[in-house]
Structures are given as C-alpha cells and as structure tokens.
Structure 1
Amino acid sequence: MKYILTLAILCSLGLAANAQTTNPDYNKSLADSLGADNYGMKQYVLVILKTGSNTTTDKEKLNQYFRGHMENINRLVKEGKLIVAGPLGKNDKTYRGIFILDVKTVVEAQKLVETDPAVRAKIFDVELYPWYGSAALPLYLDTAKKISKENP
C-alpha cells in the first residue's frame, strides 16, 4: 500500500510538472511573423564589445572609427539585423558595449560585426554567444524611434 501511494504521488507530481496551459492571447500570425517558437522565443546572438588592441590616440582616426561604428549600427538596424545596441558602464573586464543580433548562428553574427570599422581596426574586440530570448524583442524598435528626441 505504501508503494502504491508513493507511486501515485510521484505520478501526480510528474503530471503536474508536465501540464501546460494554452495562452488565450496567442496570436499565431504575429508569432509566425516574428519567428517565435511555442514559447514565444527565438535564437539570437549576443555580442560583447571589448576594448581592442588598437590603442591609437589620434583623435581624427578615433572620430572616424566611431562615426563608422555608429553608421554601421544604423545600417544594421535598418536591415533588421541589429535589435539591441548600447554601451556598458565602466567595469573591470574592459567590456564596452553589447549588440543583440537577429541571426541564428555565431558565424552569421561574426560576418556582421566584421562590417564595423571600429571592429576591423581593433578598437573593439568581440565575444559572440548564442542567446535565446523573446521573439517580440524587435518590436520595441518602433517605440524607441518615437521617444528619442535626438539621434546619435
């Protein structure tokens, strides 16, 4: 009897752990258009920009690299490849900023970051990691356009 009771408890726990509920607000066409899986998620690539090996102090060269860096960011956003970008605060790891790229593989992401003049010039080095996040992430960009008083 004790064995049967224990088995019944374990089975009920297993069933409870496997129970899933359907989202009443689910929008299949929206999910499909964003490439969402059943959990509303998808694969991206996280890029960490770090201080690179180029330690030039030539202000004109640095301005040229950073101008090209910002132009490249804007181009990748327009192409729908760059979803998030921004600098990081000071830290002891020499991390300077992040990108989240809307691509499935690190190889695809590597090709995109190599289009950045600051990366090519070794002002920035990069680390790339597969990242699984909300497929709705790209939707915030339209709102961001509406709340930015000035463009960088």
Structure 2
Amino acid sequence: MKRKLTIIALLICTLLVANKAGAQEVNKNYDEKLAKELKADDYGMKKYILVILKTGSAKDLPKPSLDSIFKGHMANITKLVNEGKLVVAGPLGKNDNDYRGIFIFDVESTDEAQKLVETDPVIMSKVMTADYYQWYGSAALKETVKIHSRIEKKSH
C-alpha cells in the first residue's frame, strides 16, 4: 500500500511539473491593441511573403536604359511602401547565387506578391527575376517603415 501511494505521489508530482513546464506566462509588456493592429498571433509573429530578386536574362543594356529602369524600380518600391504592401526592401552584396535583393511583402498570398512584383521595371525588363517564399516573422517588422522615415536623412 505504501509503495502504491509513493508511485501515485510521484505520478502527481510528474504531472504537476510537466504542466508547469508547458505553461507560458503572458508578457507583462503585451499591448493587445497594437498586436491586433499589426495582425500578430499570440507569439507576436505573422506570415509575410519573402521575395529574392536574382539577375535576369537581360544583359548588356545601355547605361541610360539601366538608369531609367532602376529609377522606375525605386519609384515602384516607394509606391508599394506607401500602399502598405512592402515592409522591407534592399540590395544584397555580391554572392555566387546571382541574388540581387529582397522584398518582404505584407500580403496574404504568393500570387498577390507576384502581381505586385510584376509591376516593377526590373522585372518587366528582365534585368531581374524573382523567387517567392512564405516567411514567418515578427509582426513588428511592419513598424520599420515608420521608424525608417525618422532616421533617413536623404531620400532616394
């Protein structure tokens, strides 16, 4: 009988420890209004679409054409940011994969991101191509645009 009580006590302790280990505390800094505004899940995360821009098939274009294409590329980026669709964009350093840059879109689907990317002159001209990936990251990433406007000394 004493052995059974010891085993039962051990099982109860094990269950209590396991339950405590699995429980998660609510963050004391949690801002429900902001989390809802940013469409964050319980972990402060959300789905985005990551686009990797790569060197395309158009090669050896004259400099005036390239200048015009990249001017349009920057204007398109600005437009997509202002629409709230694009949250991060930027070039990548030299690499062996012909990767040129990234976009991170706050849109529901890869198809929606693809339609937006197809409006970019670097894609239309085939200077670049794009690969699309679902990505799970901090919902706070969307706040980057607001912060950037406060630290950007020169605009494009």
Cα distance in structure 2, aligned partners of 1:89 and 1:11: 52
Cα distance in structure 2, aligned partners of 1:22 and 1:87: 38
Q: Which sits farther off after the overlay, 101-110 or 1-10?
A: 1-10
Gaps of 5+ in 1: none
Contact 1:51–1:124 under 8 Å retained in 2 = yes
CA deviation after TM superposition for structure 1 residue 4, in Å: 6.2
Query: 1:25 is paired with a residue of what secondary structure?
Result: coil
Gaps of 5+ in 2: none
> Where in structure 2 are the equivalents of 1:98-109 lying within 5 Å?
98-109=102-113
Larger Rg: 2
CA deviation after TM superposition for structure 1 residue 56, in Å: 3.0
Paired position in structure 2 for 1:147: 151
Q: Give me the identity figure in percent.
A: 51
* TM score, norm. by length of structure 2: 0.88
Q: Which sits farther off after the overlay, 88-97 or 25-34?
A: 25-34
* TM score, norm. by length of structure 1: 0.90
Question: Over the residues paired in the alignment, what is the CA RMSD in angstroms?
Answer: 1.9
CA deviation after TM superposition for structure 1 residue 11, in Å: 3.5
Cα distance in structure 1, aligned partners of 2:114 and 2:17: 44
Paired position in structure 1 for 2:72: 68
CA deviation after TM superposition for structure 1 residue 39, in Å: 1.0
Cα distance in structure 2, aligned partners of 1:20 and 1:141: 31
